[in-house]
Amino acid sequence: MKNQGTETGKTPKLNQLSAEEKRVILNKGTDMPFKGKYDSFFEPGYYTCRQCGALLYRSDDKFKGHCGWPSFEDALPDAVKKTKDADGIRTEITCTHCGGHLGHIFEGENLTPKSTRHCVNSTSLVFEPANSEKFGRAIFAGGCFWGVEYYMLKAPGVLAVTPGYAGGKTEYPDYEEVCAGKGGHVEAVEIVYDREKTDFEKLAKLFMEIHDPTQLNRQGPDIGFQYRSVIFYFDDAQKKTAVKLIEILKSKGLNIATTVEPAKKFWPAEEYHRNYYDRKKSLPYCHGYTKRF
């Protein structure tokens, strides 16, 4: 994952904090239960770090924990750091980019199928609505999500890339299910980007250049419906852009297999899929860059 909201290798710019925010974020304090402004708040969008502005959580991963604090099933890739408390019992979560205290992680409660709860202080968060001018969102599927993630993470303006599953009917799909072609999902990536540095069209063009959009229900050696090429759109503007780009490639003589479909709920994949090639220190085996525009 990229260094969200900051320049790579540089100390993140920190926002000025109030006395109460310092108590929670710097001194590892806790909000009063059921008093935080995001406890019962479920608008679509993203949650960022109050201290440095880094992206932390998606509203899609927020659920009613009935515990008095905002509850999330998961964070964005590499957004939080997990550290055991001194007593060895609880696991603290802090912002990866600035070290600000967020809360704790609890597991085994069976509140959701993932049975994981990020219990976060509202004081540590700032909400950005999904339709804000700050962040944009895109979902692309083009074969194995490891390769698409690898190239998208390197694109200017991209803040976060999450591998996962999209387009199917089942809830909480897993890798084994999708690889077996069950549930109708495809391997995909969800991208959050900075609207001031890039836009949907630039990312869609890149997507069509890092995989082979002429291959039907496959990508390289990976064969099956789950590896098909799809641009999922969130609004009419994204749909029109996707159709336009496909028509441009068709006019160049390419037999495009990529479909354009409305975005449904995106399900993040298992954590071990994140930053796959960077962790393995290898290159994608079925993706590469070919200039087409």
CA nearest neighbour of 98 among 30, 21, 37, 43:
21
Amino acid residing at 9? G
Q: Where are the beta strands (DSSP E) in 180-276?
A: 186-194, 218-219, 222-223, 229-233, 259-262, 267-268
The question of whether 119 is a catalytic residue gets the answer yes
* Residue-wise burial string across 81-95, b where 16 or more C-beta atoms lie within 10 A, e elsewhere: eeeeeeeeeeebbbb
User: Rounded distance, CA 49 to CA 103, Å?
Assistant: 12
Q: Which member of 52, 95, 144, 286 is catalytic?
A: 144
User: Rounded distance, CA 73 to CA 210, Å?
Assistant: 31
Q: Which member of 52, 98, 119, 286 is catalytic?
A: 119
Which two tokens mark 118? Answer: 């990020």
Q: Are 191 and 232 in contact (CB under 8 A)?
A: no
CA nearest neighbour of 51 among 81, 79, 12:
12
The question of whether 179 is a catalytic residue gets the answer no
CA nearest neighbour of 243 among 227, 259, 255, 228:
259
Task: Tell me which residues are annotated as active site.
Answer: 119, 144
